[in-house]
Amino acid sequence: MKLKTSVQSVLLATSVMTGTLFSTLVEAADTIKVGVLHSLSGTMAISETTLKDTVLMMVEEQNKKGGLLGKKLEAVVVDPASNWPLFAEKTRELLTKDKVDVIFGCWTSVSRKSALPVLEELNGLMFYPVQYEGEESSKNVFYTGAAPNQQAIPAVDYLMNDVGVKRWVLAGTDYVYPRTTNKILEAYLKAKGVPESDIMVNYTPFGHSDWQSIVSDIKKFGSEGKKTAVVSTINGDANVPFYKELANQQISAEDIPVVAFSVGEEELSGIDTKPLVGHLAAWNYFQSVDTPENAAFIKQWQAYTKNPDRVTNDPMEATYIGFQMWAQAVEKAKTTEVEKVEQAMIGQEVKNLTGGTAVMNKNHHLSKPVLIGEIQDDGQFSVVWQTEGVVPGDAWSDFLPGSKDLIADWTAPIKCGNYNTVTKTCSGQNF
């Protein structure tokens, strides 16, 4: 009798365990997992932590609406710690261990380049929300930040045509984005008749802090009788000592204006901006733009963070647009399956926070407005110039010999990220 009871107990326990395991698996299957791949420590944490919080806010908001496809969204956050090879490892972890359906992540191009082979190998899907150098289009990535023709080229045109700049300092952090962007800008400036002697190029490592001699060289370069400007692709926390040294050496925006591609409201929130008034940044979004959509976004962000002083910035808007488009594409495809969501993404539209409509194009890049803002003493930007409408992002530069004949088109019959319009061949990833 005792033996029978014992057996029954074991069977009952096994049944309960099996039921619990089944229930857990069903519960896991009933959530859509959203990977968050942003540095929360190291040199890029100053910029990327905010984007992690933006994704979490969007997940929370989507769940308030009932989730997607009748399922709740679940955020899975990892910290690649500004360690570029770790981005590949964390991407693999998100896709194989955590089984995420989509990833929102990366800031620097070197981190994106690290994650990209893993995304393509495992057929993951990532939304990349930061301005970058172009020269890339992958089936597995949607680029919601600016390509060079949506930021760098318009900024140079503004400085050349509206400010009268003749000499150019191209100052950047030493990695792929600044080097490729500056390669494009050098070719563009020379095509506009700027001699090589009027172009100064300088690179510094991530986290660089001793700017005294470099700023001194910039000051000397700008003192030779021609209007000079700095085009800055300096990234991360190195921007803080760079701007402080400009102020220390009394370089004002009237003397040598700086236009930055990686400095927004978040970075300025940690700097005394009074000596920097008049310097510039080129983005597709500024917090100061007055639209109903932007007002609602700012209100939502400050309520989420429980901080009425928290600022918004361009990569946050790019994250917002990407997330909204992904949610729409999932609903359209009625699945989170990568192939179907990727095709459903093309043509998706979301209102920009600064006016107009963002459209996802066949090359996985957005059409966006371009704005140039002037730093104010409150850490905000006053818009001094903007495009009349939206500018389609160009995956391949028209100013590099190896790229000018290439296009990206992820629709049939081409379905290729680097299709040569002359040879009619695809020389890279295609599906």
> Residue 429's pLDDT is what?
54
Q: Is the pLDDT of residue 7 over 90?
A: no
Q: Looking at residue 261, what is its pLDDT?
A: 94
The whole-angstrom separation of Cα 96 and Cα 115 is 14
pLDDT for the residue numbered 428:
63
Please name the amino acid found at residue 250: Q
User: Which pLDDT does position 272 carry in this prediction?
Assistant: 80
CA 59, distance to chain mean position in Å, is 18
Give the type of residue at 424.
Answer: K
Whether the CB-CB separation of 256 and 219 falls below 8 Å is answered with: yes
Average pLDDT over every residue of 89-101:
98
Tell me how far apart the alpha carbons of residues 151 and 262 are, in angstroms, rounded to a whole number. Answer: 11
The pLDDT score that the predictor gives to residue 414 is 95
Residue 133 has pLDDT above 90, yes or no: yes
Mean pLDDT of 306-311: 96
The chain-wide mean pLDDT, for the chain, equals 92
Neighbouring-strand partners of residue 258: 230
300: left (phi over 0), alpha (psi -120 to 50) or beta: alpha
pLDDT in tens, 186-228: 999 999 999 999 999 999 999 999 999 999 999 999 999 999 9
CA atoms within 13 A on the CB side of 194: 24
Specify the pTM. 0.88
Strands (E) across 185-339 are located at 199-204, 228-233, 258-260, 280-283
The answer to whether residues 290 and 355 touch, using CB atoms and an 8 Å cutoff, is no
Mean pLDDT of 283-292: 97
Asked whether the CA dihedral 235, 241, 245, 246 is positive or negative, the reply is positive
At 139, phi and psi to the nearest 5?
Answer: -60, -25
pLDDT attached to residue 204: 97
Which of 100-109, 187-196, 274-283 is the least confident region? 274-283
What is the band of 390 on the pLDDT scale with cuts at 50, 70, 90? very high
Q: What whole-number distance in Å separates Cα of residue 120 and Cα of residue 122?
A: 6
Closest CA to 33 of 94, 101, 82, 91: 101
Tokens of 201: 């190029």
Share of the chain above pLDDT 90, in %: 84
Tokens of 59: 């997940």
Identify the band that residue 21 occupies on the pLDDT scale cut at 50, 70 and 90: very low
Q: What are phi and psi of 396, to 5 degrees?
A: -125, 130
Lookup: tokens for 123: 């057929």
Q: Indicate the pairing of strand 366-368 with strand 357-360.
A: antiparallel
Residues 224-271: tens digit of each pLDDT: 999 999 999 998 888 889 988 998 999 999 999 999 998 899 888 877
Omega before residue 413 within 30° of 0, cis: yes
Q: What is the band of 30 on the pLDDT scale with cuts at 50, 70, 90?
A: confident
Q: What is the DSSP string of 32-56?
A: EEEEEE--SSSTTHHHHHHHHHHHH
The rounded radius of gyration (Å) of the Cα atoms in the chain is: 24
CA distances from residue 131 to 84, 108, 179, 262, 291 in whole angstroms, order as listed: 18, 9, 14, 8, 23
Angle between helices 84-92 and 109-122 (to 10 degrees): 30
Residue 276: its pLDDT value, please? 83
Q: Are the CB atoms for 283 and 368 separated by under 8 Å?
A: no
CATH number attached to the domain at 149-283: 3.40.50.2300
Res 1: pLDDT:
46
Q: How far apart are CA 199 and CA 215, in angstroms?
A: 15
Task: Tell me: pLDDT of 85 over 70.
Answer: yes
